[in-house]
């Protein structure tokens, strides 16, 4: 991955990874001038029930999906950690690894952003990284039109940080909130799991290599 430019961080359960995630990473990289995007599968996500697939399978699928794209790299640290995965801890670890000066950009879909104020030590996230928020079909609170849709505390924290100047991301290591538009893709891992469990095709919603892996390991049956 290129060292130049801010580093994007895309965390997720990736149960399984799909083309919504991959276009989110690709369009964030291109649209926001990122040097690359690090995909960070969550080991034990604290905000939801146990994922359908194990951390090891989810990591393997993310690695297959990222292979061959020089913009993408995979961070296995949360999967390797037996504790709950908190983004603030991951960002602190990355600061230790990458230094205080490298701009870091936490990439979130609108649904994840809307729940940000429930995250562990969420107010500290803005000192550690910028936040980039993408539209997601079916999830109204895009940052560009968030009033009334967002929790008041989140609105208060984000409004002064809001910018549409993508260059702001390269000028400081952290602290801005940047909405951006991506190709709307109404793909979710939930829907893919439902299709597979019902014996239906999920082809073209996720990479073929990932689907082959799912078949080979009899996942989501």
Of 85 and 188, CB closest to ligand ATP: 188
Helices marked H in 54-184? 55-66, 77-80, 87-98, 110-114, 125-128, 152-158, 168-171
Residue 26 CB, nearest distance to ligand ATP (Å)? 12
Residue 16 CB, nearest distance to ligand ATP (Å)? 9
CB-based burial, 117-153: b 16+ in 10 Å, e otherwise: bebeebeebbebbbbbbbbbeebebbbeebeeebbee
Of 19 and 161, CB closest to ligand ATP: 19
Instruction: Say how far apart CA 212 and CA 75 lie, in whole Å.
Output: 22
- Which residue's beta carbon is nearest to the bound ligand ATP? 109
Do 182 and 28 meet the contact criterion of CB atoms below 8 Å apart?
yes
Per CB under 6 A, residues contacting ligand ATP are 12-15, 20-21, 24, 108-109, 111-112, 134, 136, 185, 187-190
Residue 194 CB, nearest distance to ligand ATP (Å)? 9
Of 53 and 176, CB closest to ligand ATP: 53
Of 13 and 85, CB closest to ligand ATP: 13
């Amino acid at each position: 991955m290129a060292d130049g430019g801010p580093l994007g961080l895309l965390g997720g359960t990736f149960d399984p990874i799909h083309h919504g995630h991959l276009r989110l990473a690709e369009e964030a990289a291109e649209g926001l001038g990122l040097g690359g995007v690090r995909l960070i599968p969550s080991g034990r996500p604290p905000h939801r029930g146990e994922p359908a697939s194990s951390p090891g399978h989810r990591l393997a699928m993310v690695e297959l999906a990222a292979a061959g794209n020089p913009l993408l790299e995979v961070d296995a640290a949360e999967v390797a950690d037996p504790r709950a995965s908190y983004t603030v801890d991951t960002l602190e670890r990355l600061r230790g690894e990458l230094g205080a000066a490298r701009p870091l950009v936490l990439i979130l879909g609108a649904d994840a952003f809307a729940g940000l104020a429930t995250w562990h030590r969420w107010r500290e996230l803005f000192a550690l990284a910028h936040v980039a928020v993408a539209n997601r079909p079916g999830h109204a609170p895009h940052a560009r039109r968030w009033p009334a849709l967002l929790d008041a505390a989140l609105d208060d924290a984000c409004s002064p940080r809001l910018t549409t100047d993508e260059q702001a991301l390269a000028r400081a290591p952290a602290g801005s909130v940047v909405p951006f538009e991506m190709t709307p893709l109404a793909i979710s891992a939930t829907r893919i799991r439902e299709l597979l469990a019902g014996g239906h095709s999920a082809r073209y919603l996720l990479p073929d290599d990932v689907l082959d892996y799912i078949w080979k390991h009899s996942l989501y049956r």
